[in-house]
Amino acid sequence: MAITSMTHKWVISSLVIIFVLLFSVLIGVSFGLKRFYYSNVEQYIYSRATITYDYISDQILKNGDALKEKLKYLIKDFKYKDKIEIMAIDIDGNILLNSSGFPYIFDVDKDYKKAEESINGITTYISYTPNVGGFMSVCVIIPKSDSDIHAVRFVANLDNIDVAISRDMLNFTILAIFFFIFIFIFGYRYTGAVVLQIRNIGTVARKIATGDFTAKAERSSSDELGELCDMINNMGDDLAKSDKLKHDFISGVSHELRTPLTAIKGWGETLTMTNPSDTEMFEKGMKVIVNETRRLSSMVEDLLDFSKMQNGRFILVNNKTDVLAELEESLLIYTDKIKKDEIKIIYNSPEFIPYIFGDKDRLKQVFINVIDNAIKYSGPKAIIYIDAIYDKDFITISVKDNGCGIGKADLPFIKQKFYKANFKKRGSGIGLSLSSEIITLHGGSLELESEENIGTTVFIKIPINLKKGESRDPEVKQSVVERGEYDEQ
């Protein structure tokens, strides 16, 4: 049905236009041929008439010979009489002599009258008479004639010319018909092939829409349809990756949510059965419950932020912000963790660093996420380097670890939502994606350099985009963490 429908549309929109163009060309050719042939006949008759007129003027009238007698012999011996008929006409337009010897049976007055009215005394006239056919005449007025002959007319029959024109037009028409048939067959087959390929692409698209991301469109050409096949196939691959990431995300989040909930439930049940006098057990249980609740709350906040980011409702509350203060507060959160795992953090920053215009809570969220990843993927007794650099209009913070690193195949996708290079570690896979979005909204960038089994470095580049009139200089304050080396073991 699709092929028939599109073919009909093609016939209506294209072949009709081609037919009209061919028809217009045929009409133009018809007029052109007629003008060409008739022009040649007119020139031929006109040349004969001019030669005869010159002969009458120079040889007959100048010598004073009897014009009528001389014309009798001229008309009788006229060597072109098989093509042109010559006539002698009196002042009233009557035919006195003619080369055919037959009476003239159609109207000949008009050319004679036009010749009399013309400036040079010569005119061309075309006449069509039913049952006789078409004729072209050239009438020449003879000036200063004492004879009753006042004009000479030259007449050619146009029937043969019309037959030649009809023959040529027939050839052109046959050629146009063959051309039209060729265009129709070629266009029909080409349109059918295009529609068939479009139908195949549509079939693959429907399969992809129903969830079959393995369906592939076969590329059979290198044109736009071939590119469309590649786009459909790439779209299917991207959707397959997104679908896999979605399932992995759901699985990962389910696991991440289940873990703190299981701990909270387990310790809650344990505490309900524990003797109230066992304060040590209560303190231990409550500490686990609080920590797991905090971790659960953090994951929920990330999910809510991610939802806002997807819906375009993620906004920043920008104010004058000391970046290093937020970074150092983020480090304090992991004081117990790095003591427990014997992790060494070497932190360096310049003595002077300007304020920026940004959302301090969101920036802290980024720092916490990046530091947490560095600790999480490094393991016990690791060394983590944190450096802050002030360079003109940007502040660059780098967090370098010597952990497991990220493989080359995973690195280009590591900032995509739901993507996790290492499923053995806890996490939802949206923290880095959310962090990158936050830094991008600040006008900066978050980039990663990593090598598997060697380590990862995260570069956070933030512009110093204060409002007009605000100072870059930070106020004098006591640093949260002593600038230099932050070493807790």
What's the pLDDT at 479?
A: 35
Using alpha carbons, select from 428, 446, 483, 464 the residue that is nearest to residue 249: 428
Per cent of the chain over pLDDT 90 is 4
The answer to whether residues 92 and 157 belong to one domain is yes
pLDDT at 449 over 70: yes
pLDDT at 476: 35
Task: Please tell me whether residues 396 and 425 are part of one structural domain.
Answer: yes
Q: Specify burial of residue 452 (Cβ count, 10 A radius: 0-12, 13-18, 19+).
A: middle
> Looking at the structure, do residues 252 and 376 belong to the same domain, yes or no?
no
Domain end residue (candidates: 117, 140, 165): 165
Q: Smallest Cα–Cα separation from 44: which of 83, 78, 74, 86?
A: 83
Confidence of residue 399 (pLDDT cuts 50, 70, 90): very high
Position 4 scores a pLDDT of: 52
92-131 confidence digits (pLDDT tens): 777 877 777 665 555 556 777 887 777 777 888 877 766 6
The packing angle between helices 431-441 and 360-378, to 10°, is 140
> Between β-strands 445-451 and 455-463, what pairing exists: parallel, antiparallel or unpaired?
antiparallel
Predicted pLDDT of residue 301: 76
The per-residue b/e assignment along 354-372, b for 16 or more CB within 10 angstroms, e otherwise, is ebbbbbbebbbbbbbbbbb
b/e for 57-81, b at 16 or more Cβ within 10 A? Answer: eeebbeeeeebeebbeebbeebeee
Residue 172 lies in a domain: no
| 386: β partners | 347, 399
Residue 245 banded pLDDT, cuts 50, 70, 90: low
Q: Which residue has the higher pLDDT, 21 or 303?
A: 21
Of 165, 199, 234, the domain-final residue: 165
pLDDT of residue 179: 86
Residue 460 confidence class, pLDDT cut points 50, 70, 90: very high
What CATH number does the domain containing 115 carry?
Answer: 3.30.450.20
Please check whether residues 284 and 155 belong to one and the same domain: no
Q: Which of 104-108, 169-173, 213-217, 253-257 has the lowest mean pLDDT?
A: 104-108
- Res 458: pLDDT: 92
**Mean pLDDT along residues 242-252:** 69
Same structural domain for residues 153 and 7?
yes
The owner of tokens 């469109």 is: 217
Domain count, the chain: 3
Are 106 and 129 contacting, i.e. CB atoms less than 8 angstroms apart?
Answer: yes
Confidence of residue 337 (pLDDT cuts 50, 70, 90): confident
* pLDDT(480) > 50: no
- Count of Cβ atoms closer than 10 Å to residue 456 Cβ: 25
Question: For residue 338, is it within any domain?
Answer: yes
Residue 16: per-residue pLDDT:
81
Please report, for the domain that includes residue 230, its CATH number: 1.10.287.130
Select the more confidently predicted residue: 282 or 107. Answer: 282
Look at 476 and 173; give whichever has higher pLDDT: 173
CB 61 within 8 A of CB 67: yes
Question: Comparing 339 with 55, which gets the higher pLDDT?
Answer: 339
Backbone angles phi, psi at 85, to 5 degrees: -100, 135
Query: Are the CB atoms for 432 and 369 separated by under 8 Å?
Result: yes
For residue 324, pLDDT over 80 is answered with yes
Q: Is the pLDDT of residue 167 over 60?
A: yes
Residue type for position 209 = A
* CA-based end-to-end distance of the chain: 77
pLDDT digits (tens, 9 = 90+) for 307-317: 776 666 677 78
pLDDT value of residue 417: 65
Burial class (CB in 10 A: 0-12, 13-18, 19+), 139: buried
- 326 and 291 fall within a common domain: no
Name beta bridge partners: 448.
458
Model pTM score? 0.47
The answer to whether position 68 is within a domain reads yes
Does 361 score more than 80 pLDDT? yes
Domain that holds residue 35: 2-165
Residue 209 lies in a domain: no
| Close Cβ partners of 158 (under 8 Å, ≥ 6 residues apart) | 38, 41, 126, 133, 134, 135, 136
Beta strand extents in 331-489 (DSSP E only): 344-348, 356-358, 383-391, 394-400, 445-451, 455-463
Mean pLDDT of 287-306: 77
How far apart (Å, rounded) are the C-alpha atoms in residues 232 and 227?
9
Average pLDDT over residues 439-456: 88
Task: Tell me, yes or no, whether 232 and 369 share the same domain.
Answer: no
Does residue 396 sit in the same domain as residue 271? no
Task: For residues 38 and 371, give the distance between their C-alpha atoms in angstroms, rounded to a whole number.
Answer: 97
- My answer on whether 366 and 451 are in the same domain is yes
Classify residue 171: in a domain, yes or no.
no
CA distance 23 to 175: 12
Pairing of strands 149-157, 344-348: unpaired
**Is 363 or 276 the better-scoring residue by pLDDT?**
363
pLDDT, tens digit, for every residue of 124-156?
Answer: 887 776 666 678 888 888 776 666 777 888 888
Residue 48 makes CB contacts below 8 A (sequence gap 6+) with 80, 84, 154
128, 150, 165 — which closes off a domain?
165
Q: What is the mean pLDDT of the chain?
A: 77
322/474 Cα distance (integer angstroms): 7
Between residues 346 and 116, the one the model is more confident about = 346
Q: What is residue 418's predicted lDDT score, i.e. its pLDDT?
A: 61
Which pLDDT tens digit goes with each residue over 37-82?
888 888 888 888 888 777 777 666 655 556 677 777 777 777 777 7
Q: Is the pLDDT reported for residue 36 higher than 80?
A: yes
Give the pLDDT of residue 386.
Answer: 92
Clarify whether residues 290 and 156 are in a common domain: no
Q: Is 342 left (phi over 0), alpha (psi -120 to 50) or beta?
A: left
Pairing outcome for strands 344-348 and 319-321: unpaired
Sign of CA dihedral 465, 470, 474, 477: negative
Q: What is the CATH number of the domain that holds 455?
A: 3.30.565.10
Q: Do 266 and 336 fall into the same domain?
A: no
Residues 110, 138 within the same domain: yes
- The torsion angle over the Cα atoms of residues 76, 82, 88 and 94, rounded to 10 degrees, is 130
Per the domain annotation, does 421 fall within a domain?
yes
Residue 241 falls within a domain, yes or no? Answer: yes
Has residue 488 been placed in a domain?
Answer: no
